[in-house]
Structure 1
Amino acid sequence: MADSTRAQKLDLVLQHIRNVPDFPSKGIMFKDICPILKEPKALAAVIDLFEEHVRQNHPHTELIAGLDARGFLFGPLLAQRLGIGFVLVRKKGKLPGPTVSVAYALEYATAEAEIQVDAVQPGQKVLIIDDLLATGGTLYAACELMMKQKAQVLGCMVVIELKDLHGAERLPVPVFSLLQN
């Protein structure tokens, strides 16, 4: 993809991210990706940009793992485009059958993320996707889950990275973000 085309796609994505002040609590500037989903060209731009990154940097990727719930919006579209599988990383108690889980810290509590035991095979090359990287807790848990199953985590991908929160520094793999704030 030419640099000018890439810049146009990034601009289109940026135009469709809405800032919502004081959500979910006072002092937080929430980055709402819902407008991207309402505009087919913006959604296609997101998937095009992720696809380009994967094909250039991780051509041997075998699975895309998406985080509950916004990673579910972009991950299956990207996986389909690449002709590979998609795996759900869910909050504990949401998946049927045997699962494996990892606990992780939230700002004021703990939570657990899980995958089905047979979702990932040892040695499979996996990329993890979500909409936003803030402190990195959920993406870190997803990496831990994949590694617990002996998968090879190639990296994480997000639409938006909040650089001031240094979440990428917490992760054991590289992070690719379309936009940084």
Structure 2
Amino acid sequence: MSMSPVDYIKSHIRTVSDWPAPGVQFRDITPLLADPRVFRVLIDQFVHRYFDARPSAIAGLDARGFIIGSVLAYELNIGFVPIRKKGKLPFTTVEETYELEYGNATVEMHTDAVKPGDRVVLIDDLIATGGTMGAGARLLQRLGAEVIEGAAIVDLPELGGSARLKASGLPLFTLVDFEGH
């Protein structure tokens, strides 16, 4: 591989213009998942970052955070915690509502998913406005976990989410940035 791992990953992210609405440049990670070599390079970037940090668990945000997070948890030999959209989990849950451009959304997790003092990495595919990741971090913190870092493949800095998350005190790691939205 003649390019850096980050450039290699970025080169496999497809941009879909005007989806889901006119003017939006959608950053599609599905090509990363379809190619076994680039998927391994992607996961290895996160494994190497968190191997020595020794988190207790990886929490993944619904739904693409499940894909990356569950593989990362497996590679680190730790548990995986799903943070789902409201109404998808069968046991007692705690929920957090956050604002979207066009309304509100709610995510939830099981009340026994983490214990006080657990050290958790929270992961998703992309940070846009930061609402979902911020809500996930608040859920984990309400149950007593320490969110050691929020992580994503892609940051869209122009939408302000990463700046808001950092301002809230959440350490943040992303592999690639894309200008525009």
What TM-score, normalized by structure 1, do the two folds share?
0.93
Distance in structure 1 (CA, Å) of the matches to 2:7 and 2:130: 25
Q: What is the DSSP-based 3-state SS (H/G/I as helix, E as strand, rest coil) of the residue aligned with 1:141?
A: helix
Give 1:45's aligned amino acid.
Answer: V
Correspondence 1:128 to 2:122: yes
CA distance in 1: counterparts of 2:47 and 2:160, whole angstroms = 25
> CA-to-partner distance for each residue in 1:111-152, whole Å, 9 max, x for gaps?
110001110111100010000001100000000100110110
Task: Determine if contact 1:129/1:156 at 8 Å carries over to the other structure.
Answer: yes
Aligned length: 175
Question: Which of 22, 28, 39 lines up with 2:24 in the alignment?
Answer: 28
> TM-score normalised to the size of structure 2?
0.93
Partner of 1:117: 111
The one of 163, 166, 175 equivalent to 2:160 is 166
Match of 1:177 in 2: 174
Identity fraction in percent: 43
Q: Displaced runs of 4+ in structure 1, greater than 2 A? A: none
- State the AA in 1 paired with 2:176: L
5+ residue gaps, structure 1, are none
- Report if the CA contact (8 A) 1:168-1:174 is conserved: no
Q: Does 1:40 align with 2:36?
A: yes
Residue 87 of structure 1: aligned partner: 81
Q: CA RMSD in A?
A: 1.3
Gaps of 5+ in 2: none
Letter in 2 for 1:178: L
2:150 to 156, 159, 171: 156
CA distance in 2: counterparts of 1:114 and 1:169, whole angstroms:
24
- What's the counterpart of residue 12 of structure 2? 16
